[in-house]
Amino acid sequence: MTSADHLHCSYIACVPAVTVRDVPDETRNTLASRAARNGQSLQEYLRASLIEMAEQPDIDELLNRVRQRKAASGSMLDAEAILGHRSADHR
């Protein structure tokens, strides 16, 4: 085995793989079509989509951030007051 082969094998062994089973044909075809329109393989498209999805906070993370910011700022405004200020800014 050459050093290049060893590096390749080591890299593959360290990269986690994800397998998704029971994907409906229509779903797979839709995703493959989107990938092709972007000039990507299905794997490239799904990888990019998963990374983008993971970068976005889920609802629990988002609510936790809001609670932390509210606690840090000491804000006591209720939702009605906040929406009133927002409406005033758009006039």
Do 64 and 50 have their domain in common?
no
Residue 17 lies in a domain: no
Q: What is the pLDDT of residue 36?
A: 98
Residue 62 lies in a domain: yes
Q: What is the pLDDT of residue 11?
A: 57
Domain span at residue 51? 22-56
Tokens 């329109």 sit on residue: 37
Average pLDDT rounded to a whole number, residues 43-64: 95
Global pTM reads: 0.58
Residue 7 lies in a domain: no
With pLDDT > 90 as the criterion, what percentage of the chain qualifies? 54
Q: What is the pLDDT of residue 56?
A: 93
Q: What is the pLDDT of residue 13?
A: 62
Tokens 């990938």 sit on residue: 35
How many angstroms separate the CA atoms of 42 and 28, rounded? 9
Domains held by the chain: number: 2
Confidence of residue 27 (pLDDT cuts 50, 70, 90): very high
Residue 44 lies in a domain: yes
**pLDDT tens digits, one per residue of 38-52:** 999 999 999 999 999
Do 37 and 61 have their domain in common?
no
Q: What is the pLDDT of residue 91?
A: 64
Which residues, other chains included, contact 48 with Cβ-Cβ below 8 Å and sequence gap of 6+?
A: 40
